[in-house]
Amino acid sequence: MSIVVSDGHAPVSVPPLEDLSWDQAEQALADADLRGSRVDEFSDDVDSGLVIRAEPASGAEAPYHSEVTVYVSKGPDLVDVPDVVGMTVDGAYETLRAAGLRASLPVYEPDAEVTAQDPGAYESVRRGSTVTLSV
């Protein structure tokens, strides 16, 4: 009599998930006998709500019924530009830095009053963008 010990279920291939919605990706994983775990992150390249990538990657082998981490786009990382007109240049620099933005001024005069800004107050821009100040 011989005894055969199973190695368990064979690994399964991670289906293509890129550019699917979370619901579509979750269903594709379930159809492949896998489970999804969602992580949201910013992306300048992938529309909000669509899958950016998966780990393990699409096409890779994964253990049967294992978890696949699915990264879903929140879209670009946007911030609203604060209104810094009327502030001193130093105050405007600090306010913009706190908002995740950079400031640009042709001639740095720390105590001068900001008279204009571009882009304007309350416009949505990508985090890290530069706001040009005038005094």
1 pLDDT exceeds 80? no
Would residue 6 count as lying in a domain? no
* Residue recorded with tokens 């949201």: 40
Would residue 42 count as lying in a domain? yes
Q: Do 76 and 23 contact (CB within 8 A), yes or no?
A: no
Domain limits for position 67: 12-73
* Average pLDDT, integer, range 34-46: 97
> pLDDT category, 4, cuts 50, 70, 90?
confident
> pLDDT category, 7, cuts 50, 70, 90?
confident
33 pLDDT exceeds 80? yes
49 in the same domain as 100: no
**Predicted TM-score (pTM) of this structure:** 0.74
Which residues, other chains included, contact 24 with Cβ-Cβ below 8 Å and sequence gap of 6+?
none
95 in the same domain as 47: no
> pLDDT category, 106, cuts 50, 70, 90?
confident
Q: How far apart are the first and last CA of the chain?
A: 93
Would residue 101 count as lying in a domain? yes
Would residue 56 count as lying in a domain? yes
* Average pLDDT, integer, range 1-25: 89
Tens digits of per-residue pLDDT, 43-58? 999 999 999 999 999 9
> pLDDT category, 9, cuts 50, 70, 90?
confident
Q: Which residues pair with 71 in a beta bridge?
A: 39, 53
Would residue 4 count as lying in a domain? no
- Last residue of some domain: 73, 102, 126? 73
3 pLDDT exceeds 90? no
- Kindly report the CATH number assigned to the domain that includes residue 35: 3.30.10.20
The pLDDT assigned to 107 comes to 87
* Average pLDDT, integer, range 13-40: 97
91 in the same domain as 55: no
Give the largest Cα separation in the chain, rounded. 93
The pLDDT assigned to 79 comes to 96
44 in the same domain as 19: yes
Q: Do 15 and 24 contact (CB within 8 A), yes or no?
A: no
49 in the same domain as 82: no
Q: What is the 3-state secondary structure (H, E, C) of the chain?
A: CCCCCCCCCCCEECCCCCCCEHHHHHHHHHHCCCEEEEEEECCCCCCCCEEEEEECCCCCEECCCCEEEEEEECCCCEEECCCCCCCEHHHHHHHHHHCCCEEECCCCCCCCECCEEECCCCCEEECCCEEEEEC
Would residue 36 count as lying in a domain? yes
